[in-house]
Amino acid sequence: METDNSENSTSQSNNGGNFDPYFVSSSDNPTSSLVDVVFNGMNFVRWSRNLKRSLIAKNKEGFINGEILKAAVNHKDYPKWKRADFMVVSWILSSMNSELADDFGYIDNSMELWKELAKIFCQSNGPLIYQLNKEIDNLDQENLSIVTYYGKLKKLWYEMQNLRAFPTCTCGALNTCSCMFLKKIAEFEEEDKMMKFLHGLNGGYEGTATNVLSIDPLPSINRVFVITQQIEKQKEVNNMTNEATVLSSSAMAAQTHKGGQF
- Mean pLDDT taken over the chain: 85
Give, as one character, the DSSP assignment of residue 205: G
Pick 242 or 25 by higher pLDDT. 25
Query: What string of DSSP letters covers 159-193?
Result: HHHHHSPPPPP-SSGGGG--S-HHHHHHHHHHHHH
- Percent of the chain scoring above 70 in pLDDT: 83
CA-to-CA separations, 87 to 67, 90, 235, in angstroms, rounded? 17, 5, 52
Give the pLDDT of residue 4.
46
**Whole-number pLDDT of residue 81:** 96
Instruction: Tell me how far apart the alpha carbons of residues 238 and 221 are, in angstroms, rounded to a whole number.
Output: 26
Task: Pick the more confident residue, 69 or 13.
Answer: 69
Backbone φ and ψ of 184, nearest 5°: -70, -40
pLDDT reported for residue 211: 94
What is the per-residue pLDDT for 99? 95
Give the per-residue pLDDT at 254.
Answer: 52
Q: Is 96 helix (H, G, I), strand (E, B) or coil?
A: strand
Find the radius of gyration of the CA atoms of the chain: 28
122 pLDDT higher than 90: no
Contact in structure between 70 and 85 (CB atoms under 8 Å): yes
pLDDT at 38: 95
Beta-bridge partner residues of 96: 39
Mean pLDDT, to the nearest integer, of 203-209? 93
Whether residue 217 is preceded by a cis peptide bond, meaning omega within 30 degrees of 0, is yes
pLDDT of residue 257: 52
Compute the Cα dihedral for 63, 65, 71, 76 and give only its sign: negative
Count Cα atoms within 13 angstroms, Cβ side, for 101: 14
Q: Where are the domains of the chain?
A: 14-121, 126-166+180-258
Give dist(CA 218, CA 170) in Å, integer: 32
Q: For 165, phi and psi rounded to 5 degrees? A: -70, 155
The region of weakest confidence among 4-13, 60-69, 197-206 is: 4-13
User: pLDDT at residue 49 above 50?
Assistant: yes
Q: What is the pLDDT of residue 24?
A: 92
Instruction: Summarize the confidence of residues 195-224 as an average pLDDT.
Output: 94
pLDDT of 181 reads 84
Please name the helix (run of DSSP H) or strand (run of DSSP E) that holds residue 251, with its range, or none.
helix 221-260
pLDDT at residue 33, as a whole number: 94
Q: Taking 60 as the threshold, does the pLDDT of residue 104 lie above it? A: yes
Query: Average of pLDDT values for 107-133?
Result: 88
Number of H helices, E strands in the chain: 11, 0
Question: What type of residue sits at position 14?
Answer: N
Greater pLDDT, 11 or 237: 237
pLDDT above 90 covers what percent of the chain? 63
Q: At what angle do helices 206-213 and 181-199 cross, to 10 degrees?
A: 160
- Name the least confident of 9-13, 40-44, 72-76: 9-13
How many other CB atoms are found less than 10 A from the CB of residue 222? 13
